[in-house]
Structure 1
Amino acid sequence: MGHIYYNGDIITLSENEYPEGVYEKNGIIEYVGEISEIKKICDDKDEWVDLCGKTLCPAFIDPHSHITSLANTLRLCNLSKANCFDDIKNILEDFKLKRNIKKGEWIIGFGYDNNFLIEKKHPDKTVLDFFNENPVLITHTSGHMGVANSMALNIFSIDENSENPEGGVIGRFENSKEPNGYLEETAFINVSKNIPEPNFDEKVKLFKEAEKIYIQNGILTAQEGFATYSEADLLYKLSNDNLIDIDVVMYADMKNNSDITEKYNDILKKYKNNLKLGGYKIFLDGSPQGKTAFMKEPYKDSGDYRGYPVYNDYKVVEFFDKAVEENIQILGHSNGDGACQQFLDCYEKSVENKGEKDIRPVLIHGQLLGIDQLEKVKKLHVIPSYFVSHVYYWGDIHKMNFGIDRARNISPIKSTTDKNILFTMHTDTPVIMPNFIEEIWCAVNRITKNGEVLGESQRIDVYNALKGVTINAAYQYFEEDKKGSIEKGKYADFIVIDKNILKVDKRDIKNINVIKTIKRGSVLFDRNIQFDEQH
C-alpha cells in the first residue's frame, strides 16, 4: 500500500518546493507534484494522508552523535541540574538510595558542568569522598573530563607516582603530586573503560530507549561516532537480531580498534539491517568550554596556555594515510583552531602522499575553526560539521575563555556558506539531546543563554540551516541519492511538524514540534499516540 500526502506545506529541499502532494509506494517516493497527476498513477489501496495544514519535510539526518553513549547515560545519575558541590553530593546520595546501590558498588554520574556551578570549578575527590564505601566517578557534560573519589582512584591505580598519559592530565593538589581526583581527556577516557558494563539484555533495553529519543525528534539516521569493540559488537548483534529501527552509521576508534573495519567488513560502507560502518574516528583535541581545545593563541587570561593536541603531526598523517589508502571516510574531532590546522595540514600531506580520493573527510565540531582556514577546507573538500548549539549552551563561557572577537566567530557557518562550502550541523548527543529544531534555531539566531546575540554576522537563513541536517548530512554519508530531500526515487523518510519552519518568526522556531516521524512510509512516531502503542 502507498500513501499520498496532501493539504499542507511540503518542503522538499529540491527545485520543486511546495508541491500539492507526494506519492509514496513501498517506501519509495514515486511522484512529487500535482494531485491531478497523482490520481492517475495511484490505486484504490493507497491511503490519502491529510496533513491538515501541517508541514511535511525530509526526516532529520544526524551528522554526529554517540547513540550508544546516550543509551549508557540513561542508566547513570543525571547531574545536569546541579548548581553547586552540595547539589552533586545530594543528587548522588538520592540516586544511591533509589537504586539501592550496595557497599562496594559503583556510583556513576553524568552531566555536571563546572562553568555553571557556584564554585566555578570542578569538584575534587574531597567532595566525592563523602561516599567512603563506594567508588564514585562523575563525568563532565562534555564527556572529556571527570572526577573520581579516593576509592575509585585506588581501583584505577592512580597515585602520586602516576604520570600524565599522552594527551591527558591527572589533576593534583597545589604544590603536591597527590592526585585530587580530576581526570582530563585521555587520563579520563582511559580509566572510564574500567567501569563495569550492564549485561546484554540491559544494553538492548537502554539502546531502544535512546533510539526512541532520536525518533521522537524526527531523526531517522543516527551516528555512533566512536565505536570501540564494545559498541561495535553491541550494534552488530542488534542488527543481526533486527532490533534497530532507524539507520545507524558507526565509526571505528582508529587508535585502538581500527581492525573493526576488517571484522565487520560486511557492513563497511553498506547497510545490513539498518547498520552501516562508515569509517574511522580520531580525536585531535578536547573541549573549548573545558579549556582543553588546542588553540593557536592562548586562552584569555591564561598566560601562554593554549590547550594541547592529542597526537603529534606524524601520527595524524599516519591516520590519514591509512584512511586515504583504504578509501575509507575519516572523522576528526577538532575544536580549537590549532587542532583544525593540524587536521588540514596533515590531511593535505596525506593527499600528497597517497593521492586524493572521494573519502569526504569530516572536521567534527570546528568550534574555533578560523575564517582564514576555510580556503584550505574548500581546497581539500573537507566537510565541516558544526556543533552550533554551543552558541546557546556555552556562548557566554566562550566569551570568558576566548574574548569576544574569537567567541563571536565560533561555528563560522555563514562564512562557510559564503564560500560555497558544504557543511552539516550536529548536537554531539549525549552532550545535549538530539534536538535539530533547536539546532536550527541556534544557527539562525545565535542567542546565548544570557540572551545576547553572539556573532550576528555568522547567522544563516533557515533554509540553509535545514539543509545542514538533511540533504547536506545525506551527502556526508554518501547517501544523497537516497535521503535528505523529497524527490522521486528517494526513500520516503519524512517528518510532519506543526508549523512551517520556513514561515514562522525565526525566534519561534524552537517551539516547533515534531508530530510524526515516518520511515519508508511507516509511522514510527505519532505525537497523538503513546509511543509504546506504536511498537
Structure 2
Amino acid sequence: MMKKIGLTIVALCAFFSCNKHEKTTDKMDAEIETSQLFFNGDILTMDSEQPEYVEAVVEKNGEIVFVGRRTEAESHFPGSTKIDLNGKTLLPGFIDPHSHFGMVSNTMGQVDLNPEPVGDITNIDDILKKLKQHKEDKNIPDGQWIYGWGYDDGQLAEKRHPTKNDIDKVLPNNPVYLQHTSGHMGVANSLGLEKLEVSAKTKSPEGGTIARFPNSNEPTGLVQETAMYPFVRLLLENLASKQEEFFNTTQDYYASNGITTAHDGMTDRNTIRFFQSQADAGKFKIDLISLAGYAELASNLKDSTLEFKTYKNRFKVQGTKIVADGSPQGKTAFFTKPFLTEVPGCAHDCRGLPSLTQAVINDLFVMAYERDNQLFVHCNGDATVDMIIEAHENACKTLNQPLDYDRRTIIIHAQFARPDQLETFVKYKMEPSFFTNHAYFWGDIHVENLGKERAEFLSPMVSAARLGLKPTNHSDATVTPIDPIFTIWTAVNRVSRSGVVIGKNERTTPYQALKAITANAAYELFDENLKGTLTEGKLADFVILDKNPLKVEPIEIKDIHVLETIKEGKTIYTYSFKN
C-alpha cells in the first residue's frame, strides 16, 4: 500500500518511451525552442471551485505561459517541444502543507520500527531483534547511541510501550532512544536515561510526563511531551553530521511522491543555516519551506539576518511553529472531555495536557503578531484550540489589531476542532491543516479512546470547506509516510485499518482532497500567486499521474502512481516500471 523510499530515479524517457518528445520540424530561434507544450491528457488546472480541464499547457523558462486550447497553444508557441501525455493526468505539483523534512532525513540513520503496512513490526520481540541486528550489522561499539523510530504501542501484540528493561535485555551497553510514531513520546533504556540524568528522583517537567512502574517512582523509560525534549535535542545533535549525506535522498523521496514544495514543520537555527547553505550552493531540486521553533521566537524576530516569507534559492522560512499539546493516540492531546480509556500516569479526569500555559501562549502570540510573523500551531484536542483562540483574541486586543486581519494563523492538525471552533476560524481568518491519515492509522483507536461522536468528526474537511475555509491535509511525516496519493485516499474514504468508515459525512470529494495539497496548500503558505494551480505566470511545477483521481473508484485512489514530477519545467523524477 505504501510507496517505499527506494523508488528508482531513472531517465526521462523511461515512462512514455523514447519517442515522448515530438519536436516540430520548423526552425525556430533558441528562445522559442525552450518551451514545452503538454497535451493529450487530463490536464486539471485546480484553478476553480469545480473541476476544470484544458487541452494544453505551455511551459517556458520555468513558468506557465499558456493554459487553454491546443490549437491556440500551437499557434502561439509553434516551436515548442510537444509532450504527448498519452491520456495520463497532469496536475500542479503537490505542495506539502506539513511534514518534517529534517526528521524524514534523520530516520535514514535509525532503526525502522514501524508496524504494517509501513514496516513489519508486530510485537516487542520484533523491536528487540531489529535493535540487536542493527548493532551487529553496523558494527556499533558499546557506548554509542542507537536510535529507532516509528514504533506504535497500539499496534503491538502486547498493547503497551516497550520499557527500559525490555531494551536492556539486548542492548545493555548502548544508550538507546526509540521515538514513538506520534513524535510526542519515546522510550529510553537504562543507559539512555542515565545519560540524560533521568532517575527515580527526577520530577516530570511542566507539560510532560516521565512514566513510572506501578507503586514505584522508578522510570519505565517512557518520556512524553516536554519530558522527551532533551532526548530529541540530543538525537538531532548526534545525527547532524549525517544531514548532508541524506539530503539528496530525502529530496528524491519527496519528488518521487509528486511533491515540488516540501515542508519542515519545526526547524532549529542550526538546521535553518544548513538548509540555506544547501540552497545557496544550488543543491535544491524542489522548494523547501521551514518553520522556526517557538523557543527561539524572541531572538529570531530580532535577527536581521533571518528574513521570513522570502524564498532564497528555493528555500524560505515562512513563520514560527508552536507546539501547544500532544498526541490523541498517545493520550497527551488536551481535550475538554476526558478519555474513555485508561491514561498512563493519570488517575481521574484524564483529558490530556497542554504543552504550554495560557500565559506563555499569549506572550508568543503577542510577539509574533506585533511583527506580522505567521504562526503555525500544533493543536489536536479541542481544549487546546480554545487556548489558541483565546491567545489570538488577547494579542489582537493588546496590540489594537483587527481580529480578522489576514495573518493566516494555521491550526496544524485541528484534529478534533468542534463545529463552533471552525466558525471562529472563519471569523478570525485562521485556517486548519487537517490530518485525515489518522482515520486509517488510528481511527479504530480514537473510537475506543474518545467515543464514536468525537472520533467521527476528526479532521472535518467537509464541514470546514462548507464554511468557506481553505483546509489543507498533510502526512506529518515521519508520523505517517510521505504519500499525497494516500492522503487523498484517506480524505475521500476515511477507512480505518479494520475497514470501518470513520465519519462518513466528512468524506471529501476527490477534487476537494486534491485542492488541499495544491491550491489550498499554496494559500496556507502565502504562495497562491506563485504556485498551486495551472495558471499563466505561475511556476511550471507539475505532477503526472497514471490515472485521474476524479475518474477512478474512490477506494482505488491509493493505487495511482506518480509517473513524473516536474519542477519549473525540469523533470526531477520519473517512475520506473521495474519497481
- If the length of structure 2 is used for normalisation, what is the TM-score? 0.89
Counterpart of 2:77 in structure 1 is 42
Cα distance in 1, alignment partners of residues 259 and 498 from structure 2:
29
Confirm whether residue 27 of structure 1 aligns to residue 72 of structure 2.
Answer: no
Confirm whether residue 300 of structure 1 aligns to residue 333 of structure 2.
Answer: no
Give the counterpart of 2:164 among 119, 125, 128: 125
Give the counterpart of 1:452 among 481, 485, 500: 500
Q: Contact 1:167–1:186 at 8 Å: present in 2 too?
A: yes
Match for 1:491: what amino acid? L
Q: Contact 1:414–1:458 at 8 Å: present in 2 too?
A: yes
Counterpart of 1:183 in structure 2 is 223
Confirm whether residue 389 of structure 1 aligns to residue 423 of structure 2.
Answer: no
Cα distance in 2, alignment partners of residues 196 and 493 from structure 1:
32
- Structure 1 pair 264/521, CA: closer, same or farther in 2 (3 Å)? farther
Match for 1:18: what amino acid? Y
Q: Contact 1:348–1:380 at 8 Å: present in 2 too?
A: no
Correspondences of 1:320-399 after superposition (within 5 Å): 320-354=365-399, 355-356=401-402, 357-399=405-447
- Structure 1 pair 528/78, CA: closer, same or farther in 2 (3 Å)? closer
Confirm whether residue 89 of structure 1 aligns to residue 131 of structure 2.
Answer: no
Counterpart of 2:21 in structure 1 is none
Counterpart of 1:6 in structure 2 is 39
Give the counterpart of 1:107 among 112, 128, 146: 146
- How far off its partner does 1:196 sit? 6.8
Counterpart of 2:90 in structure 1 is 56
Q: Contact 2:322–2:378 at 8 Å: present in 1 too?
A: yes
Confirm whether residue 405 of structure 1 aligns to residue 438 of structure 2.
Answer: no
Cα distance in 2, alignment partners of residues 149 and 289 from structure 1:
23
Correspondences of 1:123-272 after superposition (within 5 Å): 123-130=162-169, 131-195=171-235, 197=237, 202-256=242-296, 258-263=298-303, 265=305, 267-272=307-312
Q: Contact 2:489–2:555 at 8 Å: present in 1 too?
A: yes
Question: Deviation per CA, 1:326-364, whole angstroms, max 9, x where unpaired?
Answer: 001000000011111111121122122221342210000
Counterpart of 1:18 in structure 2 is 53
Confirm whether residue 527 of structure 1 aligns to residue 561 of structure 2.
Answer: no
Structure 1 SS opposite 2:291: strand
Give the stretch that moved more between structures: 172-181 or 352-361. 352-361
Q: Contact 1:496–1:514 at 8 Å: present in 2 too?
A: yes
Cα distance in 2, alignment partners of residues 363 and 242 from structure 1:
33
Counterpart of 1:435 in structure 2 is 483
Question: Deviation per CA, 1:271-300, whole angstroms, max 9, x where unpaired?
Answer: 001110101110110000000000100001
Q: Contact 1:258–1:280 at 8 Å: present in 2 too?
A: no
Give the stretch that moved more between structures: 373-382 or 281-290. 373-382
Structure 2 gaps of 5+ residues are: 1-33, 115-119, 343-347
- If the length of structure 1 is used for normalisation, what is the TM-score? 0.96
Q: Contact 1:232–1:260 at 8 Å: present in 2 too?
A: no
- How far off its partner does 1:88 sit? 1.0
Counterpart of 2:103 in structure 1 is 69
- How far off its partner does 1:257 sit? 5.4
Q: Contact 1:252–1:258 at 8 Å: present in 2 too?
A: no
- How far off its partner does 1:138 sit? 0.6
Give the stretch that moved more between structures: 13-22 or 266-275. 13-22
Structure 1 SS opposite 2:54: coil
Alignment coverage as a number of residue pairs: 530
- How far off its partner does 1:240 sit? 2.0
Match for 2:506: what amino acid? Q
Confirm whether residue 281 of structure 1 aligns to residue 321 of structure 2.
Answer: yes
Counterpart of 2:542 in structure 1 is 494
Correspondences of 1:419-430 after superposition (within 5 Å): 419-430=467-478
Q: Contact 2:407–2:429 at 8 Å: present in 1 too?
A: no
Q: Contact 1:267–1:275 at 8 Å: present in 2 too?
A: no
Identity of aligned residues (%): 38
Structure 2 SS opposite 1:184: strand
Cα distance in 1, alignment partners of residues 240 and 160 from structure 2:
37
Structure 2 SS opposite 1:431: coil
Structure 2 SS opposite 1:255: helix
Give the stretch that moved more between structures: 263-272 or 368-377. 263-272
Structure 2 SS opposite 1:7: strand
Q: Contact 2:521–2:532 at 8 Å: present in 1 too?
A: yes
Structure 1 gaps of 5+ residues are: none
Cα distance in 1, alignment partners of residues 131 and 98 from structure 2:
30
Structure 1 SS opposite 2:338: coil
Match for 2:246: what amino acid? L
Match for 2:46: what amino acid? L
Q: Contact 1:228–1:257 at 8 Å: present in 2 too?
A: no
- How far off its partner does 1:11 sit? 0.3
Question: RCO greater where, 1 or 2, for CA within 8 Å and sep 6 or more?
Answer: 2
Give the stretch that moved more between structures: 476-485 or 222-231. 222-231
- How far off its partner does 1:4 sit? 0.1
Match for 1:3: what amino acid? Q
- Structure 1 pair 244/263, CA: closer, same or farther in 2 (3 Å)? farther
- How far off its partner does 1:61 sit? 0.4
Q: Contact 1:229–1:257 at 8 Å: present in 2 too?
A: no
Match for 2:146: what amino acid? I
Q: Contact 1:143–1:431 at 8 Å: present in 2 too?
A: yes
- Structure 1 pair 67/199, CA: closer, same or farther in 2 (3 Å)? closer
- How far off its partner does 1:205 sit? 1.9
Cα distance in 1, alignment partners of residues 420 and 387 from structure 2:
14
Give the stretch that moved more between structures: 235-244 or 263-272. 263-272
Match for 2:213: what amino acid? F
- Structure 1 pair 312/200, CA: closer, same or farther in 2 (3 Å)? closer
- Structure 1 pair 339/6, CA: closer, same or farther in 2 (3 Å)? same
- How far off its partner does 1:126 sit? 0.6
- How far off its partner does 1:529 sit? 8.6
Counterpart of 1:318 in structure 2 is 363
- Structure 1 pair 169/31, CA: closer, same or farther in 2 (3 Å)? same
Structure 2 SS opposite 1:330: strand
Cα distance in 1, alignment partners of residues 302 and 219 from structure 2:
40
Match for 1:350: what amino acid? A
